[in-house]
């Protein structure tokens, strides 16, 4: 089992590189290089995520129906991510930058979605509770390390190149190929789910299961704070803190904290239970967001501490919430690939709403991403980056308590 966990972590590393960091780097890269407006960028990202309303369930069905091909479908998803990454950062747009951005991001997101769905369904299902948490530990450490590397690498590569983004895209492709070779044996050919239930009717039955529906809603609300802060991170560091040169360091602190904290959260969950540990991590997350509301120019050191705390709490979310969801999938008649297609959609939908709401609103209040800003514009930025995520985390704790109460009532029934 340890070998399998290790191999899954390598694919998780690649998935991590292609996920959240793309939201950090790609929008600002295209705004700065091609002059795309914040409103246009927000609308593009939102509509790309709307595609996922249809795409993720379809990908879940495809994943469940192609298990007989073993790792080949995973390989195709990795190729899609690599091509999209090269188009985003290594090839100058030969057409309209908005169109090029949309096509490139669609390829990255599609490959990411399929790899995520297939790997989670393959890994977390049909394990005992202890093994689920151990596998989640390995997987999410791999994911957070991938996020960390991808978040800081473009900035780091500026030390050896005038533009670090093309080198980053090439590095991603090399790592993706190595990870694919390493994980190949963990996706043996199987006909386990080749039945008539692999259809949209199974997805509908999943949404009718109130336990699964409640967890999906919790995931939606709980992911929103990180989605907002990720979308606005570089703008906050540059305009509110006036510390653009520190952005790479802040990202390192955030994601390394998540990677280091994840094993500790999972070990604590082994002893004290997943629900109790999630409550603690959510409370700490609220503290970190609340602290960020009072920051101003020159508060880089305080923000470093906030990055460490908030990053550590993200590690708990990434590792433990999918474990709760996997347990509910196991106790239902839902095909795992289809179930995790819904989970993946919910996780990504938060980024869509964050982009379409926060970026246009910032522009409406007069925020300028590359110049001086009024105090009102900076207050709006702080509200979107820190205050609103704090409110959403409070709602998440309420939903978690509701789910815990429902579980207790069902167990005593």
Tokens found for residue 327:
């347990």
The structure tokens 């999410």 sit at 140
Averaged pLDDT in 10-residue chunks for the chain of 413 residues: 64 86 78 82 79 78 83 93 93 90 91 86 59 70 82 78 84 93 82 51 67 86 87 87 85 84 87 89 93 90 94 86 78 70 76 76 80 84 91 92 74 51
Report the first-to-last Cα separation within the chain, whole angstroms.
Answer: 36
Q: What distance in Å separates the CA atoms of residue 347 and residue 314, rounded to the nearest whole number?
A: 13
**Treating both helix axes as pointing N-terminal to C-terminal, what angle do 274-292 and 388-412 enclose, rounded to 10 degrees?**
170
CATH 3.40.1390.10 holds for 2-412: no
> Could you write out the DSSP letters of every residue in 69-127?
GTTHHHHHHHHHHHHHHHHHHTS--SS-HHHHHHHHHHHHHHHHHHHHHHHHHHHHTT-
Contact 78, 88 (CB under 8 A): no
The predicted pLDDT at position 130 comes to 59
The predicted pLDDT at position 308 comes to 93
Nearest CA among 237, 240, 261, 259 for reference residue 250: 237
The predicted pLDDT at position 156 comes to 79
Q: Tell me the three state secondary structure of residue 405.
A: helix
H helix or E strand, kind and range, residue 59: helix 38-65
Neighbouring residues of 78: CB distance < 8 A, sequence distance ≥ 6: 14, 111, 115, 176, 177, 179, 180
- Using CB atoms within 10 Å of the CB of residue 391, give its burial: 0 to 12 exposed, 13 to 18 middle, 19+ buried: middle
Q: What distance in Å separates the CA atoms of residue 169 and residue 181, rounded to the nearest whole number?
A: 19
Produce one character per residue of 280-302: b if its CB has 16 or more CB atoms within 10 Å, e if not: ebbebbbebbebbeebeeebbee
For 353, how many CA atoms within 13 A lie in the half-sphere containing its CB? 14
Q: At CA 370, angle to CA 365 and CA 374, rounded to 5?
A: 40
Instruction: For residue 318, count other CB atoms closer than 10 A to its CB.
Output: 25
The predicted pLDDT at position 204 comes to 65
Phi then psi for residue 185, to 5 deg, are -70, -15
The predicted pLDDT at position 198 comes to 47
The structure tokens 């006036």 sit at 242
Nearest CA among 20, 57, 75 for reference residue 231: 20
Instruction: For residue 210, count other CB atoms closer than 10 A to its CB.
Output: 10
> Could you write out the DSSP letters of every residue in 252-267?
HHHHHHHHHHHHHHHH
The structure tokens 């994601």 sit at 255
Phi then psi for residue 102, to 5 deg, are -65, -45
Q: What distance in Å separates the CA atoms of residue 119 and residue 60, rounded to the nearest whole number?
A: 11
pTM, rounded to two decimals: 0.72
Whats the size of the chain, residue-wise? 413
Neighbouring residues of 195: CB distance < 8 A, sequence distance ≥ 6: none
Determine the number of helices (DSSP H) and then strands (DSSP E) in the chain. Answer: 15, 0
Tokens found for residue 29:
């890269």
Q: What distance in Å separates the CA atoms of residue 195 and residue 315, rounded to the nearest whole number?
A: 36
């Amino acid at each position: 089992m340890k070998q399998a966990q290790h191999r899954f972590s390598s694919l998780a590393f690649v998935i991590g590189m292609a996920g959240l960091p793309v939201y950090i780097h790609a929008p600002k890269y295209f705004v700065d290089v091609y002059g795309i407006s914040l409103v246009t960028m927000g609308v593009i990202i939102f509509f790309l995520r709307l595609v996922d309303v249809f795409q993720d369930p379809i990908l879940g069905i495809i994943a469940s129906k192609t298990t007989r091909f073993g790792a080949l479908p995973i390989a195709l998803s990795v190729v899609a991510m690599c091509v999209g990454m090269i188009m985003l950062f290594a090839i100058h747009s030969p057409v309209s930058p908005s169109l090029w951005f949309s096509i490139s991001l669609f390829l990255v997101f599609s490959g990411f979605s399929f790899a995520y769905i297939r790997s989670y369904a393959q890994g977390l299902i049909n394990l005992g509770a202890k093994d689920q948490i151990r596998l989640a530990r390995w997987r999410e450490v791999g994911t957070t390390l991938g996020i960390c590397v991808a978040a800081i690498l473009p900035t780091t590569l500026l030390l050896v190149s005038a533009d670090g983004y093309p080198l980053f895209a090439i590095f991603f492709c090399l790592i993706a190929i190595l990870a694919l070779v390493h994980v190949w044996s963990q996706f043996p050919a199987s006909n386990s789910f080749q039945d008539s239930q692999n259809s949209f009717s199974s997805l509908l039955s999943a949404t009718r299961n109130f336990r699964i529906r409640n967890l999906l809603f919790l995931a939606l609300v709980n992911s929103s704070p990180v989605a907002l802060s990720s979308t606005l991170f570089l703008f906050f560091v540059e305009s509110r803190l006036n510390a653009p040169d520190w952005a790479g360091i802040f990202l390192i602190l955030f994601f390394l904290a998540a990677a280091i904290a994840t094993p500790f959260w999972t070990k604590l969950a082994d002893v004290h239970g997943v629900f109790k540990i999630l409550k603690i991590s959510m409370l700490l997350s609220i503290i970190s967001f609340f602290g960020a509301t009072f920051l101003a120019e020159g508060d880089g050191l305080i923000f470093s501490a906030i990055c460490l705390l908030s990053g550590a709490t993200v590690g708990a979310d990434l590792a433990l919430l999918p474990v709760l969801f996997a347990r509910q999938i196991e106790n239902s008649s839902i095909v795992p690939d289809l179930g995790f297609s819904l989970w993946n959609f919910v996780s990504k939908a938060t980024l869509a709403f964050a982009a379409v709401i926060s970026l246009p609103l910032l522009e409406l209040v007069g925020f300028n991403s590359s110049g001086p800003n009024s105090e009102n514009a900076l207050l709006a930025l702080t509200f979107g980056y820190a205050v609103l995520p704090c409110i959403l985390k409070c709602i998440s704790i309420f939903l978690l308590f509701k789910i815990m109460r429902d579980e207790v009532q069902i167990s005593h029934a």
